[in-house]
Structure 1
């Protein structure tokens, strides 16, 4: 599989711009994982951090699920990888975990995210509320937060990938 990253339009309206940047960062994470074996994708290559590329993908599946299902719509299917006993279970990959399973879960959550946001305006409010203020979030805020979340973790992915096989890129 070859990931094609599309730069967001330079002159789009706000919604198209936000969705374009979110898609670009989703594609960037997939691109950072391309061409590696399951073993490489499970490797925590930047010691002492336990982060791996597969762990980042699993984490982003959880993040997509949280913001676009639990917070935005009030649907709470529960976490995929994390639990009370292991709140960072998304990052704790084992030899039994496969790229295909992680990728499929991630893409499923992205599909839910797209579907749940599709009929909403940027100023529409979430059903879930901020733990600190008690206020709901706008879809605009969620999009912006997701872009920030992916951008930060794509920086981690850059470092991990470079340590694994020397590959670099924007």
Structure 2
């Protein structure tokens, strides 16, 4: 019984930390999720985390909430998923309720504009770090040439067409990748 209580408490603390410190949207909090899940608690390997993150990116909805639900489900099934999502969303829900009225008053404040300007580069660096991790994983699985082609195709499609097309095409390719590679190796 003590193990269950500890695991629910650990799950709650991870979700509170990611919920409180996850500024800038879901993708920017993924390194914190990875630190907590892979490095600190060792609940999954880095490769498993990358795979679950890739699957979560394909599904609709906020990425951080999907990762929280997935981790909770992996640890404690349905109740764990509900538990994790609740604790992950609680800090931002409280903050939104508490700061909603102040937002209209402070909207034109130079201090608030300065804080936003200071945080923006941090979020950009965190997103670049996540992109680097995805490219590194792709390089390990595909090699240099296919990774460069995939990045170029994704960039062109994102710029000229629509992100949904990128998601659909790369999901279809990813679902067939091992079958295609397996045929070449044999």
Q: From the two aligned structures, give the one with the greater strand fraction.
A: 1
Structure of greater Rg: 2
TM-score by length of 2: 0.28
Which has the higher relative contact order, 1 or 2, with Cα contacts under 8 A spaced 6 or more apart?
1
Higher helix share: 2
Question: Could you tell me the TM-score, scaled by structure 1's length?
Answer: 0.30
